[in-house]
Amino acid sequence: GGRDMMQQGLQLAQKPHVVISTPGRLADHIDSGTNFSLKKIRYLVLDEADRLLEDNFGDQLKQIFAALPKKRQTLLFSATMTDTLRELENIALNKPFLWQPDAEIATVEQLDQKYVLMPADAKDAYLLHILDKYTDQHSKSLVMIFTQTCKYCQILGMVCRELGFACVALHSMIPQRHRLA
């Protein structure tokens, strides 16, 4: 998504060995009659599979699956094992391979995760205080903050920059050329 459809259509017509796409954009290319075929696809990889199956991607996925050959390997990747993925495992025509780590929590040892219980109406102030304190103590460290919406990501980025934090906000409402930069 976010790039020129015509340019992508020309690239697809060159029969690339690997296609990376959002479900919506690939379905758009199938709809628009872009001169390409998915009939030789041998592997379909779905990242964030739990979100793809739970969010509103059903129609686009059906359209994509109809354009793909029946004989292929489908690989589903997800950081979390949800009921939706378990249901998919049970109803799949070919028994999918499912791997889950033994550990209840799967993270790299160097990752420092914290949970802070705070009043909802003061969460922004707490977050900025924690960020300020952490960056003072760990000046060479990087911090990544995930937000629930594009709007909140943008606002939080603007506030952080205003307070002097070196900050970049990345979300789907930012033009593709800015995200790439």
- Helix residue ranges per DSSP H, 33-175: 49-54, 58-67, 83-91, 123-137, 150-162
Question: pLDDT for 115-129, tens place per residue?
Answer: 788 888 899 999 999
Neighbours of 153 (CB within 10 A): 19
Whole-structure pTM over 0.85, yes or no?
no
Question: pLDDT for 30-53, tens place per residue?
Answer: 888 777 888 888 888 877 777 776
